[in-house]
Structure 1
Amino acid sequence: MDFINVLWLFILVASLAPMVKQRVLDSERFRLMRKVEEKRGSRVIALIHRQESMSLLGFPIARYIDIQDSEEIMRAVKMTDPKIPIDIILHTPGGLVLAAEQIAYALSKHKGKVTVFIPHYAMSGGTMIALAADEIVMDDNAVLGPVDPQIGEYPAVSILKVLDEKPAKDIDDQTMILADVSRKAIAQVKATIEKIACCQYSDEAAHDLAEKLASGQWTHDYPISFEEAKELGLKVSNKMPEDIYKLMNLYPQARTRRPSVEYIPVPYEKRPGAAKGTPNKG
């Protein structure tokens, strides 16, 4: 075999290797999802957003909740018998309000138990989806986020604050228009949260959640911890199944450089190499 043939063979193998690797990864995901379904007698839906790379050029693509996600999840819910529980695994920075609302409404109407698992974070629209669940299972270090609407690059509440601090004659037309849109957006999001949450919480509790999560008392990226979620009155638990973490490992972040975090991926019951009788802390 001459050099040219070897070169072509190398190019062929190199081009096919990512496809084969992805097929193997997809197979492992479905196998583990099926395992969880059999254990819990449920339908498992994964809504996991990672920064992904284009298959050929390697450019990073940021992922977020979009219309395709909402359509897929609504179809999955539709194909599930009303009596069968739904387990949805959430790992998302948020996304389109419309898409998040559609997903939340579909889950809130499902008659079987809906459990949302949050191993790391579910911000903004992800939190809205979580409000539709009968139970939210969070890792001890996982976080939710506020669902206050954003108008362009600014929080709606901050735009309205301009009206309170400046006389109308000193405010330009564009800001006045944005303020009008902001007022409507806040009212709409609060109303949506109340409609979604009232299926799982009392009317008073749903109203309270809407006020706290959509009123802009925090910045949009404020992390609501497991403890804070409990204080808000959310139905949260920290009993995360180990299989959920294993499934997350099958959604690796695309790597275009040397990883900045490395560790030996096995559980440690005690400090490695510690002498007998030596405390693990101190």
Structure 2
Amino acid sequence: MWFWILFFIWTMLPVWRQQWLHMQRLHAIRRLERRRGTRVITLIHRQETISFLGIPLHNYISVDDSEQVLRAIRMTPDTMPIDLILHTPGGLVLASEQIALALDQHPAKVTVFVPHYAMSGGTLIALAADEIVMDQNAVLGPVDPQLGQYPAASILDAVERKPVAELRDETLILADMARKAMAQVERFVAERLRGKMPAEQAEQLARLLSSGRWTHDYPIPVDEVRAFGLPVRVGMPREVYELMELYPQPPQRRPSVQYIPAPYDGRQRPSGR
């Protein structure tokens, strides 16, 4: 009997822990909302452990995410500002554009916080904000569309290097899709930027970010984002860092990063012993 009781407790511990984390996250969100007088929405993608088997989930921006974010925006009064905490490697263009469009249409101020990175679709969403707040070492990324495992810009480049007679019909079809995808993303980005900078500058920046000039994982740091003319500033609220601590990575057998989890005031020195 004791075996089955212990087995039940062991299997339920991850569920209880996940529920405790969920409640802590809600409390952290509420603290930030009270301090800033805003609706706080999180779009945080980490590899989290679920069930007692410890199965990791690889998260990205999905249609489910866009449905939830749009619902939160609909529940927010037009006069209430929105704070979106964004931590994501990207995801579906459809979902990212839906979120960006909804944020762009919200009458009150929209602020996107990037504590670590918001790549690809995450950058697409950040471009719709009235203000982007980044950690000093946080990064954004290019928004050039990807078709399967290949960048759209690279597909077009490869097609241009060979005579049409040497190309398969599937390749030509893929190139046509790539050309349309790049034009669509460029137009969407330019439309999101026109209210934040002159139209010509918005079109140039949209073309730069969507044209495949860099690899898709190229990190764009704060200084470069500021040079683009985007409304960005450095200065992350402490509550955002505290909230990020409540989205832990799954435990590993050998931790790859370790440190003393306490802030130092600059006067402390490690002992020689």
Q: 1:230 — aligned with what?
A: 226
Q: Which residue of 1 aligns with 2:112?
A: 116
* Shift, 1:151, TM fit: 1.0
Counterpart in the other structure of 1:80: 76
TM-score under structure 1 length normalisation:
0.93
Give the one of 35, 38, 44 matched to 2:34: 38
SS of the aligned residue for 1:258 comes to coil
The total of aligned residue pairs comes to: 271
Residue 252 of structure 1: aligned partner = 248
**Which is greater in Rg?**
1
- What does 1:48-67 correspond to in 2, within 5 Å? 48-67=44-63
Moved more, 191-200 or 224-233: 191-200
CA shift digits 1:88-108 (9 cap, x unpaired):
000000000000000000000
Partners of 1:82 and 1:111 within 8 A in 2: yes
- Which residue is equivalent to 1:194? 190
Q: Establish whether residue 101 from structure 1 lines up as the match of residue 101 from structure 2.
A: no
User: What secondary structure, in the 3-state scheme, does the structure 2 residue paired with 1:116 have?
Assistant: strand
What letter is aligned with 1:194?
A
- Structure 1 distance, partners of 2:49, 2:248, is 11
Residues 37-91 of structure 1 deviation map (CA, whole Å, 9 limit, x = unaligned): 0110000000000012331322222000000000000000000001100000000
- Which residue of 1 is the match for residue 210 of structure 2? 214
The runs of at least 4 consecutive aligned structure 1 residues that moved more than 3 Å come to none
Q: Deviations over 1:161-205 (max 9, x none)?
A: 123211111222211111111100000000111122223333223
Gaps of 5+ in 1: 276-282
1:132–1:200 contact (8 Å) kept in structure 2: no
Considering only aligned residues, what root-mean-square deviation do their CA atoms show, in Å?
1.4
Does residue 264 (structure 1) correspond to residue 260 (structure 2)? The answer is yes
Contact 1:66 1:96 in 2 (8 A): yes
TM-score, normalising length from structure 2? 0.96
Q: Identify the residue that residue 17 of structure 1 maps to in structure 2.
A: 13
Separation in structure 1 between the aligned mates of residue 48 and residue 270 of structure 2, nearest angstrom: 40
* Preserved contact between residue 25 and residue 250 of structure 1 (Cα < 8 Å): yes
Q: Structure 2: any 5+ residue segments left out of the alignment?
A: none
Question: What's the CA shift for 1:271?
Answer: 5.8
Of 224-233 and 170-179, the range deviating more from structure 2: 170-179
Answer whether contact 1:148 1:214 (CA < 8 A) is retained.
yes
| Counterpart amino acid of residue 167 in structure 2 | I
Give the secondary-structure state (helix, strand or coil) at the position aligned to 1:87. Answer: strand
- Structure-2 residue corresponding to 1:143: 139
* Whole-Å separation in 2 of the counterparts to 1:212 and 1:253: 34
